[in-house]
């Protein structure tokens, strides 16, 4: 079992190390991660310049840093290592729930796996002022990987941990609406700038990823790459046959 581990927080993230330390119980682990933080980069890829892959000391793990995006790391890592069975991404410092899947670099690294015909698992944890207590989460990380690597065969799963888990739940993606708030301000030289932020407008729907984490469950959401809206397609074909 070859397990490639990427992330979007960068190769020196404590979440990446915590994930690799648990994942090695399930197979041979190799870390291939961005050399600097790439959070909220989404599924960007680098095609206008070559990428480098350089060995880096992360404990006693085989680890390499890449000067590219999260998705780049998976593409280059799989090509360089070969015969990869599953790609893990994370553990992100911050949850990736609901609509954040659209811009998450953590999800993008996991999504790159099914694009290459492999299984992908994204893992994220909440952050407040302090980093998550990964030592306390370790038994839960072990349970999640045992389920998703050894027993279930979902091609792509989005995993989110609460601060103190009470168990695991299969969930759907929350699609509650955001207020795309833009907060204007001024830099130290007096020039105007803008901070982009999002505020949820609606409470989470029961059975969704956001609901589960708020209730203290580890959320496991199987995802698909086909974004086709089947209902809208059927209605459009009925209204305006082509
Ligand atoms: Mn991140």
The predicted pLDDT at position 197 comes to: 80
Q: Where are the alpha helices (DSSP H) in the chain?
A: 14-23, 70-81, 105-115, 134-145, 209-214, 230-239
pTM over 0.85: yes
| Count: domains in the chain | 1
Q: What is the per-residue pLDDT for 166?
A: 97
Q: Distance (Å, rounded) from C-alpha 241 to C-alpha 209?
A: 37
Q: Are 178 and 199 in contact (CB under 8 A)?
A: yes
- Report yes or no: 76 and 53 within 8 Å, Cβ to Cβ: yes
Domain of 109: which CATH number?
A: 3.40.1210.10
| 143 CA to centre of ligand 1 in angstroms | 23
Q: What pLDDT score does 196 carry?
A: 85
Q: Let me know if residue 142 belongs to a domain.
A: yes
Q: How far is the CA of 128 from the centre of ligand 1 (A)?
A: 14
How far apart are the CA of 103 and the centre of ligand 1, in A? Answer: 10
| Vertex 183: Cα angle to 181 and 185 (nearest 5) | 170
72 located within any domain: yes
The reported pLDDT for the residue numbered 6 is: 98
Q: From ligand 1's centre to the CA of 235, what distance in Å?
A: 38
Taking the centre of ligand 1 as the mean of its atom positions, its distance from the CA of residue 94, in whole angstroms, is: 7
Ligand 1: centre distance to CA 107 (Å):
10
pLDDT for residue 202: 82
> Taking each helix axis from N to C terminus, what angle separates 105-115 and 70-81, rounded to the nearest 10 degrees?
40
CA of 227 from ligand 1 middle (Å) equals: 23
Which pLDDT does position 49 carry in this prediction?
A: 97
**Closest to 30 measured CA to CA, from 52, 55, 67:** 55
Tens digit of pLDDT at every position of the chain (242 positions): 999 999 999 999 999 999 999 999 999 999 999 999 999 999 999 999 999 999 999 999 999 999 999 999 999 999 999 999 999 999 999 999 998 999 999 999 999 999 999 999 999 999 876 778 999 999 999 999 999 999 998 999 999 999 999 999 999 999 887 777 899 999 999 999 999 887 777 888 999 999 999 999 999 999 999 999 999 999 999 999 99
Domain that holds residue 57: 2-173+205-225
Whose tokens are 């209204």? That residue is 239
Beta-carbon neighbours within 5 Å of ion ligand 1: 8-9, 39, 92
Beta bridge partners of 170: 220
Distance (Å, whole) CA 158 – CA 168 = 12
Q: Rounded distance, CA 130 to CA 139, Å? A: 20
Report CA(19)–ligand 1 centroid distance (Å).
14
Residue 9 exposed, middle or buried by CB count within 10 Å (0-12, 13-18, 19+): buried
Cβ contact 146:121 at 8 Å: no
Would you say residue 33 lies in a domain? Answer: yes
Strand order in the sheet with 86-93: 53-55, 62-66, 28-34, 2-6, 86-93, 119-125, 156-160, 218-222, 168-170
Compute the distance between CA of residue 221 and CA of residue 119 in angstroms, rounded to an integer: 14
How far is ligand 1, taken at its centre, from the CA of residue 241, in Å? 44
Asked if residue 235 is part of any domain, the answer here is no
Burial pattern 129-141, b for ≥16 Cβ within 10 A else e, equals eeebebeebeebb
């Amino acid at each position: 079992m070859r397990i490639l581990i990427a992330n979007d927080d960068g190769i020196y993230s404590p979440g990446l190390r915590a994930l690799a330390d648990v994942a090695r119980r399930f197979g041979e682990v190799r870390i291939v991660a961005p050399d600097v933080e790439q959070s909220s980069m989404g599924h960007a890829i680098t095609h206008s310049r070559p990428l480098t892959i350089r060995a880096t000391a992360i404990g006693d793990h085989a680890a390499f840093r890449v000067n590219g995006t999260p998705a780049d790391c998976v593409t280059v890592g799989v090509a360089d290592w070969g015969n990869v069975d599953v790609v893990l991404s994370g553990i992100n410092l911050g949850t990736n729930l609901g609509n954040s899947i659209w811009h998450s670099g953590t999800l993008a690294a996991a999504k790159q796996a099914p694009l290459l015909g492999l299984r992908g698992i994204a893992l994220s944890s909440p952050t407040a002022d302090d980093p998550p207590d990964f030592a306390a989460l370790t038994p839960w990380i072990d349970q999640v990987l045992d389920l998703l690597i050894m027993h279930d065969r979902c091609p792509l799963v989005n995993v989110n941990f609460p601060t103190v888990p009470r168990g695991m739940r299969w969930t759907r993606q929350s699609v509650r609406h955001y207020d795309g708030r833009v907060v204007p301000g001024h830099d130290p030289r007096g020039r105007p700038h803008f901070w982009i932020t999002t505020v949820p407008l609606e409470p989470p729907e029961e059975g969704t990823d956001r609901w589960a984490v708020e209730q203290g469950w580890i959320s496991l959401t199987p995802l698909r790459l086909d974004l086709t809206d089947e209902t809208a397609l059927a209605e459009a074909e009925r209204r305006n046959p082509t």
